[in-house]
Amino acid sequence: MPEVRQLGTEPVCLASTRSQDTQPRCQDQASSVRRLDRGIKPADTRGDVSAATDFTHFKSVKWSPDGTTLLTDSSDHNIRTYILPPDLLDEESLPHKLSHYSILSSGEPTYATAFYPFFSLQEPSSAIFLSSVRDHPIRLTSALAPMSLATYSLVNPMTEAFITPHSMIYPPSLGGTHFLTGSDSMICLFDVSRPGNEGPVSWMPTIPSKRKQLVGGGIGMKGIISAMALNPDQGGILAAGTFSRNVGLYDSNGSGQSLGTFNVSRTEADRHIGGGGVTQLLWSPCGRYLYIAERKSDGVLVYDIRVTGQLLGWLQGRRAFTNQRMEIDLVSTAQGSSHEIWAGGTDGFMRLWQDPAYTAGGQDPGWEWRVNLSNDSVSSTVMHPTGDIAATTSGQKCLKDHAIDGSDESNRNEPNPLLDVWLLPRLNGAQD
C-alpha cells in the first residue's frame, strides 16, 4: 500500500465564502502563484454582492467552460453564480472574499444543471445554463441575471405530469444546439431552438417496455438515469448510469442503438468499496476507460470500455459512505498521456489518485489535504480547465443537538456551508 503523502507545499486558498476571521492560513508562495498563472482573466463583477449564507450546505458546484464562473446548487433550492475576481492569482490580496453575483430561486429542489458548452463571460449572450427542477419544465437561464430565457417541457404522455431529469449534459460535440436529459428508463434529446411545449425531438427508452416482468424482457437497463457522459474521442458514445447500478453505452451521441449494458454490483470491487447507485460518470481523455462514482461507496470503479463491462480496478479510500452526491473530477496532466482523479470525502479531505487506469485492482490515494477543520463533507471537488485550481464545497445536513439536562447547546452543530477555491501544488513536478 503506497503511503499517502502530505503536502510539503500546502495548497493556497485563493478565494472563499467563509468569513475573514475563519479564513485558512495561506503561506507565502508568490513564485508558485506566478508560475501557475495561465491567463485567467474573468470579467469584472457587478450587481448584488451580498453573501448571506442562511442555508445548511452546498449540494454541488460547477466551473464554467471558460473558467471564470462558479455555479452552485444549495439546500435552500437556490442556484447561485460566483464570478471570480480578475486578480484571483494576486498573492497580495489572498484570500479573496467570494460573494454571489446572482441567485435563481426555486420552490422545489434542483436535480441537475449544465453550462452552455461555449460559455464566455465576455459574450453575455453565451453566459447561460440549464437546470431541471422537480415538477417544472427545464429552464435555460442567464448566469448574469436571475431570469429564464426559455423553458423545455418533458411531460409524461399518459399522465401529463412533468418528468424531472435526474441528469443532464450540454456537450460541445452537439454544437451547442442540442442537449440530453436522463430520467426514468429514458434518454431524451432536446433542440435548444424549440422551446415551450413541443418537448424533445427524440425519446430513447433504455428498455423496450416497462410492462415486462423481467427488466425490459431481459434487454436494456431499467432505472432512473442518474448520470451521463459523452466519450471525448469524438466517437459519439454516450455512457449512462442508473441508481440501480446499471451502465449502458449508446452510439450516435446517445440517439443511436445500444452498444451494451452491464451491472457494477457483484464484482470484486463491490466487496472492497461497496456502492449504492451510480451518481457520476467520467471518461478518460483517451476515451478507453470509464470511471464510475456511486453513493455509499469508498471509492471509484475503473472499467475498460474496449471490452464492455470489464472491471479494470478501483480507487479506494474515497470516504463517501453517504446518500449525498459527492462530485469528483478528472484532469489531464501537462504531458497529456496521463490524468488524475480528484475527490472529496465525508471526513473533510480532498484526495488525489494519479494515473488511475495504469493499476489493476485497488489503488489508494497518493495525496490528501484537509479542506476544513470542522470535518464537514466535501460534497464537490471540481477542477478549473487549467488543471491547477480546484473549487470545493463543504457541508451536509445536520441536526442541532440538545443536551439531556435541558441546557442550550443548539449551536454545537450550526451549518457551515463553504465554497473555497484552491491553487494546487503539483506533486513531484508532474505538471511543471
Partners of 315 in beta bridges: 300, 363
Domain residue spans of the chain: 12-423
CATH hierarchy code of domain 12-423:
2.130.10.10
Percent of the chain with pLDDT over 90: 55
Average per-residue pLDDT for the chain: 82
Confidence of residue 394 (pLDDT cuts 50, 70, 90): confident
DSSP string across 344-363: E-TTSEEEEEESGGG--EEE
Three-class SS of residue 20? helix
pLDDT for the residue 243: 95
Condensed to tens digits (0 to 9), the pLDDT of residues 281-329 reads 999 988 899 999 999 999 999 999 887 778 999 999 999 999 989 999 9
Confidence of residue 93 (pLDDT cuts 50, 70, 90): confident
Cβ atoms within 10 A of the Cβ of 194, count? 14
pLDDT for the residue 94: 84
pLDDT for the residue 3: 43
Distance (Å, whole) CA 164 – CA 242: 15
Confidence of residue 119 (pLDDT cuts 50, 70, 90): very high
Residue with the larger pLDDT of the pair 226 and 374: 226
Check: CB of residue 342 under 8 Å from CB of residue 333. no
Distance (Å, whole) CA 68 – CA 121: 7
| Burial group, residue 120, by CB count within 10 angstroms (0-12, 13-18, 19+) | middle
- 345's grid cell: 470525502
Condensed to tens digits (0 to 9), the pLDDT of residues 246-291 reads 999 999 888 788 888 999 998 999 999 999 999 999 999 888 999 9
Distance (Å, whole) CA 61 – CA 418: 11
Residue with the larger pLDDT of the pair 354 and 40: 354
Check: CB of residue 350 under 8 Å from CB of residue 342. yes
Phi and psi at 60, nearest 5°, equal -165, 165
pLDDT for the residue 128: 97
Range 362-387 average pLDDT = 89
| 58-63 and 69-74 strand pairing | antiparallel
Tell me: pLDDT of 234 over 90. Answer: no
Range 186-213 average pLDDT = 86
Partners of 327 in beta bridges: 380
What amino acid is encoded at 270 in this protein?
A: D
Cβ within 8 Å of residue 41, ≥6 positions away:
86
Eight-state DSSP code of residue 172? G
Cβ atoms within 10 A of the Cβ of 69, count? 24
Give me the sheet containing 367-370, strands edge to edge. 329-332, 339-344, 349-354, 367-370
